[in-house]
Chains A and B, each alone.
Chain A
Amino acid sequence: NAGVTQTPKFRILKIGQSMTLQCAQDMNHNYMYWYRQDPGMGLKLIYYSVGAGITDKGEVPNGYNVSRSTTEDFPLRLELAAPSQTSVYFCASSSDRPTQQYFGPGTRLTVT
């Protein structure tokens, strides 16, 4: 099993550009999450999904969108990138509540 994978690993965006951060898991987990981690800070939940076709907002959803068309994939869309979105983004999944969340390797995003 590859576990949770994320692409790209690094990305630099200009202000106003858009991009999609990809996340996939091969563990057949129903629950998936997107977090952001600012330098020296903890993890804040952006969006989560409890299954294909079901998503909901977390603590800091503004400026982001998600979709969940399959169990495996949970992409995060950034529209009109802003410097405040400079962060490390982690995707995670879990099989049920509450169990261990498995994290992907992260995407380091810089918006300049």
Chain B
Amino acid sequence: GENVEQHPSTLSVQEGDSAVIKCTYSDSASNYFPWYKQELGKRPQLIIDIRSNVGEKKDQRIAVTLNKTAKHFSLHITETQPEDSAVYFCAAVNAGGTSYGKLTFGQGTILTVHP
């Protein structure tokens, strides 16, 4: 089955700096890669996703890049703000197989943005 490794486990930055979180996956058939943000005591919420036919996707201060050859994808947050502080999870799934949308999640990254 799929295995997703996420690094770092904790990340501390100053407000205005950039933050990068990296994930690697094992199943070359995986073709959908979402990122979820979970604030303390809240539910995970999708912030951005990318499919394997795209190398990069951007949404305002958030971007995701995908390297299929190396089997890794990264979340980039620019101009970080204190409200970006949360736990971020990456995930991967093979959309076309019999996975039925079952996401394999990374272990999570605790991002702290200091004012």
Q: Which residues on A are within 8 Å of B, measured CB to CB?
A: 31, 33, 41-45, 48, 50, 56, 58, 90, 94, 96-101, 103-106
Contacts and interface: CB of A to CB of B under 8 A. Distances in A.
Contact of B32 (A58, A98, A103): A98
Interface of B: 31-32, 34, 42-46, 49, 89, 93, 95, 99-103, 105-108
Contacts of A103: 43-45
A50 B95 CA distance: 14
Closest 9 CB pairs of A and B: A97-B101, A98-B32, A98-B95, A103-B43, A42-B105, A43-B105, A100-B46, A42-B107, A98-B93
B101 A94 contact: yes
Main secondary structure of the interface of B (DSSP, over half): loop
Contact of A31 (B31, B46, B49, B100): B100
Contacts of A96: 101
Contacts of B100: 31, 48, 50, 56, 97
